[in-house]
Amino acid sequence: MHGLVGEVKLIRRRGFTLIELLVVISVIGILLTLMLPSLRKARLLTIQSVCASNLKQSGYAGSMYASENDSHLVNEWDGWDGAVFYNSGAYSKTIFGSHQVELSAYSNKDVFICPSDTRASVGREKAEKFRVDYGMPIEYWGKSLAAFEKPAESGLNTDTIWHWINHNTANRIEARHLDDANILYVDGHVTSKQRRVLNNAPALFMPFQTWNTVGNWVSSGFVRYPGDNQ
């Protein structure tokens, strides 16, 4: 019995050998390597959901604006400079304004800043991101909500690198969420679409099409993704 106790004490004192320690470290390293892509994707999906929430809140703000303006959307033409407003609260006139300025009366200013926008943040202040992170189709400016035959299929706001998009400026849309772009629709719901789908879907942002809308969209620029040099 005494000899058995001595052997147990000896085993307890021995601990890990160098080989055993290296094996454990190797196993942990392999597990981390396998887990990192999943953890990164989960993080990016979380950020995408924050962006979607921002758009949803901006949609609420837009609804309140419309209810006080005879059911009309914000008109950016001859509007206010978003960056100036964000920094100082001052209203500085510009030929193309930012819808965010008008809607900030009904929402926190930071809901107009996308947490994933890396392109717009390079060398720019937060105020500039406020101005350009979400863009609105120029055809919608000042439009009556009654004019939309399919509000659930008409994209009102989306991830962009500029504060408005047009029939020939598809490359201002940025699919920065795992190659998806979040979209706020006129009816208030938010979803996302892949870049390859958006490249061929001008009607999503241009329900009031002219004869050359599709041709200009396709020939003049495709939807961006982070790192694209178009």
pLDDT along the chain (230 residues), means of 10: 50 62 74 67 80 96 96 89 92 88 94 79 76 92 94 95 89 92 96 92 84 71 75
Please tell me whether the overall predicted TM-score, pTM, comes out greater than 0.75 for this model.
yes
The DSSP 8-state label assigned to residue 160 in this structure reads B
Q: Rounded to the nearest 5°, which phi and psi values hold at 191?
A: -150, -175
Both tokens assigned to 89: 């609260």
Let me know if residue 59 belongs to a domain. Answer: yes
Q: Which domain does 98 fall in, by range? A: 2-220
Strand spans (E) along the chain: 134-137, 155-159, 164-165, 180-185, 190-194
132 falls within a domain: yes
At position 51, the amino acid (one-letter code) is C
Calpha distance 29→44 (Å, rounded): 23
Total structural domains in the chain?
Answer: 1
In a domain, 225, yes or no: no
Handedness of CA 145, 146, 149, 150 (dihedral sign): positive
pLDDT at 230: 46
Is 226 domain-assigned?
A: no
Q: What pLDDT does residue 95 have?
A: 83
